[in-house]
Amino acid sequence: MRNLKVHIDAHSGFCFGVVYAIEMAEDILNEEGVLYCLGDIVHNDEEVNRLKKKGLVIIDHDELHSLHNEKILIRAHGEPPSTYQLAITNNLELIDASCPVVLKLQHRIKNSYDKGESIYIYGKHAHAEVIGLLGQTNNEAVVFQDISELDLENVPKNITLYSQTTKSTNKFYEISSILKEEGITVNTNDTICRQVSNRDKELRDFAAKFDKVVFVSGTKSSNGKVLYNVCKETNPNTFFVSNSDQIQTDWFCDNDRVGICGATSTPRWLMEQVKDKILTY
């Protein structure tokens, strides 16, 4: 035995939007035994598989078109208006678990669009949340992941800037400053979720306390990739795993202090499994 001291970060794990969606899904599954969900309920395969065993059925938008008279869960990422219109056409009952932060952002973008503003969204192309945001603008807003994607000479001289809720606050304001330096008038709307953005500093503080850090996340999680890199920058001895089977014994030395943390899409039970596995070494 290597006498490892293992601690799970108290702040890691599901954000409140994901908690809300999963609790809603479990309540229905416990009562009815089956529930359709439009897209992965969370970007974590282990949690999705757990819920599938309870009766959750993951469908995509193509499959949604063929369903009628069914109950469909809308996950925390939100959906564009076209999904709600289809629900009316196909007599689908939508269980809307859209995150309140995302819904507020959707409404603000819709108001800007109705006013005829030139809308730019800092976000990941084709991300579920961004698709929902674009839908508020009839898919007319400009989405960009990095300022380098924009032809600054041809950007309108007056724009309204929004952000996907899970992007970096510092990067968002850096982008706003660059645009203003180019002579562009920017109506900057900080719509980033603070529960997510605050994780950056919290994880830097956490990662610095340990000899080794094990970051637990699904490979599909954008938030997970960002937060893993935050840990890695602070503590080079940070390792990424999606489940306990991926842990390697040669990562650890005798008497190591090991920290376990994760993304906002990582369930607590999964981090507990990782801890239990490490304690067997």
DSSP the chain: ----EEEE-TT-S--HHHHHHHHHHHHHHHHHS-EEEES-SSS-HHHHHHHHHHTEEEE-HHHHHT--S-EEEE-TT---HHHHHHHHHTT-EEEE---HHHHHHHHHHHHHHHTT--EEEES-TT-HHHHHHHHTTTT-SEEESSGGGS-GGGS-SEEEEEE-TTS-HHHHHHHHHHHHHTT-EEEE-----HHHHTHHHHHHHHHTT-SEEEEE--TT-HHHHHHHHHHHHH-SSEEEESSGGG--GGG--TT-EEEEEE-TT--HHHHHHHHHHHTT-
- Confidence band of 128 (pLDDT split at 50, 70, 90): very high
Above pLDDT 90, what percent of the chain?
A: 91
CATH of 101-192, one of 3.40.1010.20, 3.40.50.880, 3.30.450.20, 3.20.10.10: 3.40.1010.20
The pLDDT score that the predictor gives to residue 281 is 93
Residue among 23, 70, 93, 129 flagged as catalytic: 129
- Confidence band of 186 (pLDDT split at 50, 70, 90): very high
The pLDDT score that the predictor gives to residue 125 is 95
At 220, list the tokens. 């599909």
Q: Rg of the chain over CA atoms, in angstroms?
A: 21
The pLDDT score that the predictor gives to residue 168 is 85
pLDDT of 219 > 90? The answer is yes
pLDDT of 162 > 90? The answer is yes
The pLDDT score that the predictor gives to residue 242 is 97
Identical fold for domains 5-13+196-278 and 101-192, yes or no, is yes
The pLDDT score that the predictor gives to residue 184 is 97
CA distance 178 to 190: 16
In the sheet that 158-163 helps form, which strands lie side by side, from edge to edge? Answer: 142-144, 119-122, 158-163, 185-188
CA distance 176 to 195: 22
Report whether 143 contacts 137 (CB < 8 A): no
CA distance 110 to 137: 6
pLDDT of 94 > 90? The answer is yes
Told to judge if 129 belongs to the known catalytic residues of this protein, a careful annotator would answer yes
Nearest to 225 by CA among 208, 212, 209, 238: 238
Mean pLDDT, range 261-269, rounded to an integer: 96
Residue 48 makes CB contacts below 8 A (sequence gap 6+) with: 40, 41, 42, 56, 58
In CATH, the architecture of 5-13+196-278 is: 3-Layer(aba) Sandwich (3.40)
Mean pLDDT, range 214-237, rounded to an integer: 93
pLDDT of 220 > 90? The answer is no
Mean pLDDT, range 58-72, rounded to an integer: 96
| CA angle centred on 186, ends 181 and 188, rounded to 5° | 120
Residue 144 burial by Cβ neighbours in a 10 Å radius (0-12, 13-18, 19+): middle
Q: Where are the domains of the chain?
A: 5-13+196-278, 16-98, 101-192
Beta pairing partners, 74: 96
The pLDDT score that the predictor gives to residue 194 is 87
The pLDDT score that the predictor gives to residue 83 is 97
The pLDDT score that the predictor gives to residue 262 is 97
CATH C-level class of 16-98: alpha beta
pLDDT of 36 > 90? The answer is yes
Mean pLDDT, range 64-91, rounded to an integer: 97
Q: Which bin fits 14, alpha (ψ -120 to 50), beta or left (φ > 0)?
A: beta
